[in-house]
Structure 1
Amino acid sequence: MKLKHGKMRKMMAVSLSATLALGLLAGCTGTKAPESKQEKVLRIGVMYGSTDDSYFRQQYTDIYEYDRKNVKIEIVPAIDQSEWRYNDGSDFKEPDYLESMKKIMTGSNPVDIIMTDTSSLKQLIQENMLKQLDPLIQEDKFDTSDFVPAVIDGIKDLGEGSIYALTPTFTSSALYYNKKIFADAGVEPPTDKMTWDDMLNLAKRVAKGSGKDRTYGFSFERYRGNDLFWGMQYTYMAPLQLRTYDEKAETMTVNSPQWVKAWDTLSTLVKEQVIPNNSDYSFEEPWTPVSNDMFLSGKVAMVISESNYVNEIAETNANAAKIKDYTPIDWDVVTVPVHPEKPDIGGNVYLSSTFAINNNAPNPESAWDYIKFITGEDWAKLKSRSNSYEMIARKSYLQPRQGQSYNLEAFYALKPVPPANPKDDKLKQEKRGLYSVENIGRNYLQEVLENKKSVTEALKDWAEKGNKMLQEIKLNPKIEFQEDGTPYLPETHEG
């Protein structure tokens, strides 16, 4: 999933949250712990950080420390980012993220809480390193029924039905559509949980025009020059969990009926100009604030984008009079399309801020009190007033942004795509050539789009080339490759 302008918007949201915090704290009594004068130190482990932890504190801990005056929070990064900044590269080794997290969870001074993404979380659950939260939830009658399905069901799936973590926020995507384009074409608009095939058939019906006046039916991204290859991989194919190579990184798996169907379906629509391709774009058109955005400029009827795109559409429409030849977009959203085999999964739902209790936590009671606070109603109420790119995990405090009216449920009706296996990430860290094995697929897709090869031929050739590369990696794990898949040979310098 890709979040444009995410960091800038996130920092603005932090400032707003900090401003509102003091005014709302008087009402933050629903999860307040018994008063205690004894100072406690609560240590929270994060994946990476530096000496400046102000952003994390503003976002997640300042309000809690204000309300729990006897608690002092320490932020403990598993990976110190200064190692990257001040390393000249001569002896740099990319850290093992999961192993780094395990180190701060064990030893003589383990952290009480960890905040991590779902990929690492799943592995830590499997290794019995996290405390199951269900008994604590039941004992305190902590309400989880208000969490949106995308969040609570996704978390339960990680724990095979049990809850090992909670999160206050999530990010997601939906299918945005231009109402006017559909109305003008006399075509019914898309609906929630529509299959990919049905949505793409709608795209065919609304695509029209030629050259610079072409209106496309669908795009994986809103920006011109978007990457079809990765759009296919991470949006269309991700719910099906199709692998490029096996779990041992020894054999290619792309030469299969499912891969053939995916490539054949989407490459055909590119050739028919239902889906835009890089070669279709004209960058000679006059620049406007919306010219690079295919949805806002009316060049595409449907596009997948993240939830904070709502803010950008509202802002653009509000400034329509300042933009030459721009007509405000009349739009709405539905869920990202689904595959019949996985009818409830999709939407690029991402749980990046899951909080869990370390099984070795010195202060498990304080850790649970913190998680209740940060995922409780009072915190949700506070954060619901900001326009962060993240969405509130509690339904009661989710509301359309900028005072608009749209199908908000589209962003949270589907379950997240199951996280990647952390072992895959570790393999790529150890064998950097694996990135090239995946990336050369783009070359073969381009040959399909240029009618140089059939889909079957292209995937067969990718599998053969990839198998050779995998064997070279097996013999030499440090080997890297050029764009065409040939081994990379470092330049030598004489003298």
Structure 2
Amino acid sequence: MTKNGFGKLLKVLTVSLVASLALGLLAGCNGNKASDKNEEKVLRIGTTYGGGDDSWFRQQYTDIFEYTNQNIKIEIVPAVDQSQYRYYDGTEPYVQPDYVDSMKKLMTGSNPVDIVIADTSTLKQLIQENLLKQLDPMIQEDKFDTTDFVPSVIDGLKDLGEGNLYALTPSFSSSALFFNKKIFTDAGVEPPTDKSTWDDIFAKARLVAKGEGKDRVYGFSFNRYMGSDPFGDMQYSYISGLQLKTYDEKAENMTVNSPQWVKVWETMSKLAKDKIIPDSNSNMNNSETWTAVSGDLFLSGKVAMTIGESNYVNEIADANNNASKIKNFTPVDWDVVTVPVHPEKPDVGGNVYLNNTFSINSSAPNADTAWEFIKFVNGPDFAKLKSRSNSYEMVSRKSFIQPKQGLNYNIQAFYLLKPFPPTNPKDDKLLVDKPGLYSINNVGRTYFQQVLENKKTPEEALNEWAEKGNKMLQEIKINPKTQFQEDGTPFIPEEGAGGVKY
């Protein structure tokens, strides 16, 4: 068969597959309130951000629903149209948009949206302000099965609504702790297990770390990329789990000079100085020749354990399958366990994210149709479809979660833990209203580096960070527009001067 002929056949088969799938989903929709009515309807979906080409979103969520409910037209309405930033020329200061307020305007205006798709932080605030419909009565009335949902997903959503459901989500993103079996076997150390504490993982990391210079194999890394940043990794993956605050709720006083903060900095700085974890100065590339895996700590065998997303499985499988084509590469024998936990919260992990929650606006003009759509994208047929096509997230229905590429690994590690509570909407609001707060974190990085260089003890560095931060907070209190140079010197961006507010 010619290449052109094969292409035509492939198109025919693709169209046939989509048509068959759509017919099956249509059969599943028979009896729906939305599809029983012939009148034309417009279902408006509000998203946190978007704009411009919405084809990806439609392919992901709405095309098949519209095909099976041809009397319904779906409009995608972003709370913040990000396409406008393509034309930002720097002549005016950039102001961080308030996504929550923008979404509330979509929900309460003259033409309110029916469905709200948002992250958990936004969702929590909308629930607290009674702007969303509770879904439990509709779930019970239609006997919509939620027992197949991953417990960490459904429990995480219920926690936001104080035990009640105000949203469902068809997918979630997650990470786990990947480990190299051979490194543990060679060291005679038992590999990590699910729900291991951070201290347990750090202890194992010390036992398996070995070598010097370019031949160093690190015990643990917060991510798989060369040039790791211990301060940023610590803030994102470790401190967030402890829910430590840099400053108080009003952003008026620093809170980093506490025994708990000192313990964290002592732990992390010692791991970096002892070369148990890599830092930004680590020279780990022992080959002058670039390869497809040379920039990856785990695949290149430079780290025994690392935290990675669920789609990292595909990258490992692809590298192993093409090992003969990669110079000096040995296939990695690996498995996964849950991300480490803190003893205070042994069932909670900071790496489960409910990125797109689907809710119904309390003021929705088409609440019944909105519910039919939410049932559709959270139903088993949709989950079956997305389990095969979504490589970046996992479907929320556990019946359709299967190991990728026919591999055998501990896939439950990606959904065994509950997600951490979302950030407080008030904290997000503070960062919008007072953009200079971002600089306080950057100052902290400077002090942590001084600890790594043995210029200060963790306690000394944290006390100085608190002192410096308090002065910066005072400047922000006097004028919320205050921003800071790299050394912490305050300045007020001039209008029209191209200053940027992050």
Q: TM-score when scaled to structure 2?
A: 0.92
The size of the alignment, in residue pairs, is 478
Look up the equivalent residue of 2:332 and give its one-letter code: I
Look up the equivalent residue of 1:431 and give its one-letter code: K
* DSSP 3-state at the match of 1:293: coil
* DSSP 3-state at the match of 1:280: coil
CA-to-aligned-CA distance 1:14-72 (integer Å, 9 cap, x gap): xx999954331222233441522111111000111223211111111001101111111
For 2:469 and 2:90, how far apart are their aligned partners in 1? 29
Say whether residues 1:73 and 2:74 are aligned partners: yes
* Structural mapping, 1:317-328, within 5 Å: 317-328=320-331
Q: 2:229 aligns with which of 221, 227, 230?
A: 227
Contact residue 115 and residue 354 of structure 1 kept, 8 A: yes
For 2:341 and 2:194, how far apart are their aligned partners in 1? 9
Contact residue 21 and residue 382 of structure 1 kept, 8 A: no
Quote the residue 1:208 is aligned against.
210
* DSSP 3-state at the match of 2:373: helix
Contact residue 174 and residue 347 of structure 1 kept, 8 A: no
Q: 2:23 aligns with which of 4, 21, 26?
A: 26
Look up the equivalent residue of 2:187 and give its one-letter code: A
Say whether residues 1:42 and 2:43 are aligned partners: yes
RMSD: 1.9
For residue 365 of structure 1, report the CA deviation from its aligned partner: 0.4
Residues 21, 474 of structure 1: alpha-carbon distance in 2 compared, 3 angstrom cutoff: farther
Q: 1:448 aligns with which of 443, 446, 451?
A: 451
For 2:387 and 2:165, how far apart are their aligned partners in 1? 24
CA-to-aligned-CA distance 1:346-405 (integer Å, 9 cap, x gap): 141111110000000001100000000001101001111124211111000001111111
CA-to-aligned-CA distance 1:245-284 (integer Å, 9 cap, x gap): 1111111111112211111111111111111111122457
Q: TM-score when scaled to structure 1?
A: 0.93
For 1:30 and 1:343, how far apart are their aligned partners in 2? 40
Structure 1: which 5+ residue stretches go unaligned? 1-15
For residue 94 of structure 1, report the CA deviation from its aligned partner: 2.5
Identical aligned residues as a percent: 67
For 1:402 and 1:388, how far apart are their aligned partners in 2? 11
* Structural mapping, 1:418-457, within 5 Å: 418-457=421-460
CA-to-aligned-CA distance 1:297-323 (integer Å, 9 cap, x gap): 000000001110000000011110011
Quote the residue 1:51 is aligned against.
52
Look up the equivalent residue of 2:28 and give its one-letter code: G
* DSSP 3-state at the match of 2:49: strand
For 2:95 and 2:235, how far apart are their aligned partners in 1? 28
Q: Which moves more between the two structures, 387-396 or 32-41?
A: 32-41
Quote the residue 2:469 is aligned against.
466
Structure 2: which 5+ residue stretches go unaligned? 1-12, 498-502
Contact residue 21 and residue 63 of structure 1 kept, 8 A: no
CA-to-aligned-CA distance 1:426-460 (integer Å, 9 cap, x gap): 21112111000112111111111111111111111
For residue 163 of structure 1, report the CA deviation from its aligned partner: 0.4
Quote the residue 1:345 is aligned against.
348
Look up the equivalent residue of 2:85 and give its one-letter code: W
* DSSP 3-state at the match of 2:190: coil
For 1:240 and 1:83, how far apart are their aligned partners in 2? 38
Contact residue 112 and residue 360 of structure 1 kept, 8 A: yes
For 1:266 and 1:415, how far apart are their aligned partners in 2? 25
Contact residue 481 and residue 493 of structure 2 kept, 8 A: no
For residue 96 of structure 1, report the CA deviation from its aligned partner: 1.0
* Structural mapping, 1:101-250, within 5 Å: 101-250=103-252
For residue 110 of structure 1, report the CA deviation from its aligned partner: 0.4
For residue 285 of structure 1, report the CA deviation from its aligned partner: 3.2
For 1:73 and 1:17, how far apart are their aligned partners in 2? 24
For 2:19 and 2:128, how far apart are their aligned partners in 1? 40
Contact residue 230 and residue 272 of structure 2 kept, 8 A: no
* DSSP 3-state at the match of 1:373: helix
Contact residue 482 and residue 493 of structure 2 kept, 8 A: no
For 1:280 and 1:55, how far apart are their aligned partners in 2? 39
Look up the equivalent residue of 2:52 and give its one-letter code: T
Say whether residues 1:61 and 2:62 are aligned partners: yes
Look up the equivalent residue of 2:266 and give its one-letter code: D
For 1:217 and 1:448, how far apart are their aligned partners in 2? 21
